[in-house]
């Protein structure tokens, strides 16, 4: 039985959309897509249910029949959500569903849907990550996108037999942009271009995954920097085979700096010298910290590393 699974995450920071919905990525999988929508009423029930349950994470889909009483306790949250949220990022995927299983837990009957949870979660997370990364790359430099755990992601399924929603509490995942911004048609087109490239290219998707992880670690400066540096390192190593060197490697120059210099000369010749200096500063900070452990974690150049990754990932995707 084919069932439509929907994962909706609150997106903080996008003030308005040029149209509704905005499809960010739609890979070559029947029915799968990730899109932005301001149709809050369509998805706020799912968010309210998540708050009503009061559970952080579960791996099952739960029948809404058991949640009727919980709905009566959260009217204030529903009104608050309507005031504070403008946009949802929604992921839709289709999957085969096995017969339901009913279990009794603490005197409550719960209906569990049979499905390949790992595969479903992996597909949904991959689409969402590509969409968030595409949005991040598309916004102009004056808007600094970052991903932070500001809201709960909600997932629910449409029961094909009864057309009922069956809710799932999902781990925290959302995106935030540091100041409110209106998404333009151009932003939406670029987000679609970037997200599609990331979704269809596993090599680039791994870089987006690391950028996402760096952005999530706002409270852990070391992990934030190491994820950003690793993303930069992976980017350089993967693109080094795409852009032929314009000059031979000096014997005294480290291979990583030589590779980045070639990439910078190919993709952004006007700013190549300045970008190479930034890259060298990030690399020096990484080496100093790893070898001596004397550097203050708060001084690690995470933002500079992420800016280099984001900019050169954008430039490379435009070349594809």
Q: What is the pLDDT of residue 183?
A: 84
Q: In this structure, are residues 169 and 56 in contact, taking their beta carbons and an 8 Å threshold?
A: yes
Q: What is the pLDDT of residue 135?
A: 83
Residue 49: partners with Cβ closer than 8 Å, 6 or more residues away:
64, 67, 70, 71, 154, 156, 167
**If residue 14 lies in a helix (H) or strand (E), which one and from where to where?**
strand 2-16
Find the DSSP H helices in the chain: 40-53, 68-71, 75-84, 117-138, 185-200, 202-216, 221-239, 255-267, 272-292, 302-319
Q: What is the pLDDT of residue 246?
A: 73
Mean pLDDT of 60-86: 49
d(CA 258, CA 306): 19
Mean pLDDT of 298-307: 91
- 259 confidence band (pLDDT: 50, 70, 90): very high
| pTM, entire model | 0.70
- 236 confidence band (pLDDT: 50, 70, 90): very high
Q: Is the pLDDT of residue 94 over 70?
A: yes
Q: What is the pLDDT of residue 93?
A: 83
Q: Identify any residues that bridge with 6 across adjacent strands, giving them in sequence order.
A: 92, 156
For the chain, what is the radius of gyration of the CA atoms?
22
Mean pLDDT of 266-291: 94
The share of the chain scoring above pLDDT 90, in percent, equals: 23
Top-confidence residue, 224 or 99? 224
Q: What is the pLDDT of residue 290?
A: 87
Domain ranges of the chain: 2-200, 214-319
Q: What is the pLDDT of residue 46?
A: 57
Find the DSSP H helices in 243-301: 255-267, 272-292
Q: What is the pLDDT of residue 60?
A: 44
Top-confidence residue, 230 or 130? 230
Q: Is the pLDDT of residue 271 over 60?
A: yes
**Average pLDDT score over the chain:** 74
d(CA 92, CA 200): 17
- 63 confidence band (pLDDT: 50, 70, 90): very low
Tell me which of 176-190, 206-220, 228-242 is least confident. Answer: 176-190
Q: Is the pLDDT of residue 242 over 60?
A: yes
C-alpha torsion sign, points 4, 5, 8, 9 = negative
Residue with tokens 């994820």: 227
């Amino acid at each position: 039985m084919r069932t439509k699974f929907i994962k909706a995450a609150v997106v903080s920071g996008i003030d308005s959309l040029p149209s509704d919905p905005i499809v960010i990525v739609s890979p070559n999988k029947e029915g799968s897509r990730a899109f932005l929508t301001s149709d809050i009423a369509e998805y706020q029930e799912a968010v309210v249910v998540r708050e009503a349950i009061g559970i952080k994470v579960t791996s099952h889909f739960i029948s809404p029949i058991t949640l009727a009483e919980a709905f009566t306790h959260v009217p204030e949250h529903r009104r608050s959500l309507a005031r504070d949220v403008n946009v949802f990022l929604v992921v839709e995927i289709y999957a085969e569903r096995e017969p339901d299983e009913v279990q009794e837990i603490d005197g409550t009957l719960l209906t569990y849907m049979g499905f390949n949870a790992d595969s479903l979660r992996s597909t949904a997370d991959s689409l969402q990550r590509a969409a968030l990364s595409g949005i991040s790359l598309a916004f102009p430099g004056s808007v600094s996108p970052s991903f932070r755990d500001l809201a709960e992601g909600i997932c629910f399924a449409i029961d094909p037999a009864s057309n009922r929603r069956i809710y799932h509490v999902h781990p925290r995942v959302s995106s935030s942009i540091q100041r409110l911004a209106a998404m333009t048609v151009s932003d939406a087109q670029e987000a679609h271009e970037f997200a599609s490239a990331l979704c269809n290219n596993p090599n680039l998707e791994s870089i987006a995954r690391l950028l996402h992880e760096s952005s999530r670690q706002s409270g852990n400066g070391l992990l934030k920097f190491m994820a950003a540096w690793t993303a930069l390192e992976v980017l350089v190593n993967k693109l080094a085979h795409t852009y032929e060197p314009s000059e031979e490697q000096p014997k005294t120059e480290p291979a990583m700096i030589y590779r980045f210099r070639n990439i910078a000369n190919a993709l952004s010749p006007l700013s190549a010298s300045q970008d190479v200096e930034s890259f060298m500063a990030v690399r020096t900070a990484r080496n100093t910290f790893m070898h001596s452990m004397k550097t203050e974690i708060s001084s690690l150049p995470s933002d500079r590393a992420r800016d280099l990754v984001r900019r050169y990932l954008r430039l490379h995707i435009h070349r594809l």
